Chains A and B, each alone.
Chain A
Amino acid sequence: MEKYRVMPGPEAFLPPAAACVGNVLPDPGQGHVNGEIVQEDVAMEEAARQFLAAKVPTIFPGPLVLWNWNEKSAKKASAIYKLYEVLKAHNPGALLIPMPDYRPKYPKINPEIEINPNHPNLTIWHNKIDVCMFVGVHCHYANLSLKIIRGGTNCYTIAMCAQAGHEDAMLSFRDATPDSTYRLIEAVKRVKGLASSGNGASHAGTAS
């Protein structure tokens, strides 16, 4: 069977869960890009390239980092906000849209101010988001979101996970800590520097 590549959609009426078609999660120290296992640094560089090339790069922080429920979450939140500031400085169109909880929003979500795992496509479509990163979202809901986004939108998805990672994202890291986010920030700065000197990242090739 040909290896399943996790690519931007819109993929299908109901795309498969990547784990059910043979994709596996990375081991510690690794990440994955489009379903291919790579070293974490490689995934970080690719995430940085995707963010920098995007028209509307967006971070979706979830409840695990939005609420100050332990010391680590506050540190993570600070790091994520710093990443947002770096992206915003590069591209004023960058967004930070929270996933504050997982309740289905009836009768209608306000896609300008939040994203919901049961219908994340609405927020993606409304804001024309072409690259997004989930962080601090409980894994089950992150996977729901990632698969629904892949099914119905052309958005490139990144998942920064504190646990084992996400095969349903186009790119994922695992065991994320505040330090991981700072390393991603450094990767963004490094790739941006290379790009501005004409030696590095292409600004073409995003999903949108």
Chain B
Amino acid sequence: MDSKSLIGTRNKIGQKIVDPDYLFYEAPRERYFMTGSEVVREAIRRASVDVSISYPITPQSEAAAMVGDLWVEGYVGEYFRGENEFAVMSECAGASFGGARVFTTTSGPGTLRAYENFPMWVGSRLPIMLNMMVRGVNSPLSIQPDTLEIGLIIDTGMLIWHAETAQDFFDYLLKGFIVAEEPDVHLPIAVCIDGFFVSHTKDDVYIPSADLALPTYDPYRSPVVCMDMESPPVRMMRDPFVMKSNYISYATQASWQQETRAACERSRKHTIRLIGGLIEEENSDADILIVSSGTAVAQGREAARLLAEEGIRVGIVKIKTIRPFPYEEIKQATKDARLIFVPEFNVAGWMAREIKACIPDNHRVIAGPHVAGGMTMPPEVIVEEIKKVLATQKEAVHE
């Protein structure tokens, strides 16, 4: 039975299966005040998840435990704790190979310990939903927010969305399942939030009734065979091309990788429809722009307000998807900007690199300000950076 034919029926705990568009856009919503972890619980309650596997890495431990509560209540089909993060992601692969809708959540060092699985998920076309509550990854150990972790997964081939607020987070989790499971996409998706800033703080979130749920995942629409031990990608793993030294094997492996990248590109159309574009613009005709993702956007927005009080007009470009990256959208949005500031919660500045790579005259990009290791980014720091650069330019003109 295909999942669309379930619309209008009730699932085993009595939720009404509804069309995703109804759940996203039409169903009445009520206001709640909740943490990011609670947002996970409420999104997964409505997501018809078959399997969730957890490991209690901080700061996502509350979310994973809350999904466990959902299993007790009957909203999630199977739930268990893996031996470690690598095991969790491998077990998620097994469940997804078997045709289940799978959710898990991780953070920081847990992400890196599990890393080998992410390109494997991609190559195997497994539409697993991974929630990453990003935090510091380097020594000395930190459990505080830091977005370096996103920069480390951007070339795995996964879809990567970065939520700014609890509301984004709720919507991206549910909509992410739909995009990731499209047969022309069918890739794992990482829905990222900034740890603590979103996971542990409370925010207003508007959510539809818990009596409603998404249609179940339909594995028969998958672009690969469901759990066939004799066919690739499973067979590839026990009889891999790496063992065959010939052009055909290399060309197949290369074409396989290209196809997964193509699938990521195909997600643009579905993503634009569901989340209203890959970027959001506010006053992007301004001379000065702040372009970033996650909570750096919120700080940038406040900085723009402070600067407006001083008569300095600054626009905002919020990047919602890191993969696929909105190259064309950013190029268009920044075409008239003289200065483009990219505040980031990491020392590497990977977002600034991405932006520099897609726009002409990329000397306009100012990579910063940067904070890391759990530091907050007061809007005043962004204001100061912008004023410093403006003052330098004024001096240069006068010289």
Binding site for B on A (CB under 8 A): 14, 16-20, 24-25, 63, 101-104, 106, 118-119, 121-122, 138-141, 143-144, 147-148, 151-152, 163-165, 167-168
Contacts and interface: CB of A to CB of B under 8 A. Distances in A.
Contacts of A19: 261-263, 265-266
A144 B255 contact: yes
Contacts, number: 98
Contacts of A121: 248
Given A19-B261, A147-B258, A148-B252, 18 more contacts: A16-B258, A17-B261, A20-B261, A20-B262, A101-B228, A102-B235, A103-B231, A104-B232, A104-B235, A104-B241, A118-B232, A119-B252, A138-B224, A139-B223, A143-B223, A143-B259, A143-B262, A164-B266
Interface string B194-237: 00000000000000000000000000011111001011100110
B255 A148 contact: yes
B258 A17 contact: yes
A157 to B, nearest CB: 14
A20 B265 contact: yes
A17 B256 CA distance: 10
Nearest to A18: B262
B258 A20 contact: yes
Contact of A147 (B182, B248, B255): B255
B266 A14 contact: no
22 contacts: A14-B251, A14-B254, A16-B258, A17-B261, A19-B263, A24-B266, A25-B184, A25-B269, A63-B225, A101-B230, A101-B231, A104-B235, A104-B236, A104-B244, A118-B232, A118-B248, A138-B223, A139-B223, A140-B223, A141-B224, A147-B259, A152-B251
B183 A164 contact: yes
Contacts of B235: 102-104
Interface of B: 125, 182-184, 186, 221-225, 228, 230-232, 235-236, 239, 241, 244, 248-249, 251-252, 254-256, 258-259, 261-263, 265-266, 269
Contacts of B239: 104, 106
A25 B269 CA distance: 9
A17 B224 CA distance: 18
Contact of A163 (B223, B232, B236, B262): B223
Contact of B232 (A103, A148, A164): A103
Given A17-B258, A102-B232, A163-B183, A25 B266 contact: yes
A102 B231 contact: yes
Contacts of A138: 222-225
A84 B124 CA distance: 33
Given A20-B261, A118-B252, A141-B224, A164 B182 contact: yes
Contacts of B265: 17, 19-20
B221 A163 contact: yes
Contacts of B263: 19
Nearest to B230: A103
A188 B225 CA distance: 32
Given A25-B184, A163-B184, A164-B184, A102 B259 contact: no
Given A20-B265, A25-B266, A140 B252 contact: no
Contacts of A165: 184
Contacts of A18: 262
A167 B261 CA distance: 13
A140 B259 contact: yes
Contacts of B232: 102-104, 118, 141
A148 B251 CA distance: 8
A117 B371 CA distance: 48
A17 B251 CA distance: 13
A30 to B, nearest CB: 13
Nearest to B183: A163
Contacts of B241: 104
Nearest to B268: A24
Nearest to A63: B225
Nearest to A24: B269
A107 B372 CA distance: 54
Contacts of B231: 101-103
Contacts of A167: 262
Contact of B225 (A14, A24, A102): A102
A143 B256 CA distance: 9
A139 B183 contact: yes
Nearest to B254: A14
Nearest to A151: B251
A157 B223 CA distance: 19
Nearest to B184: A164
Nearest to B267: A19
A10 to B, nearest CB: 12
Nearest to A107: B244
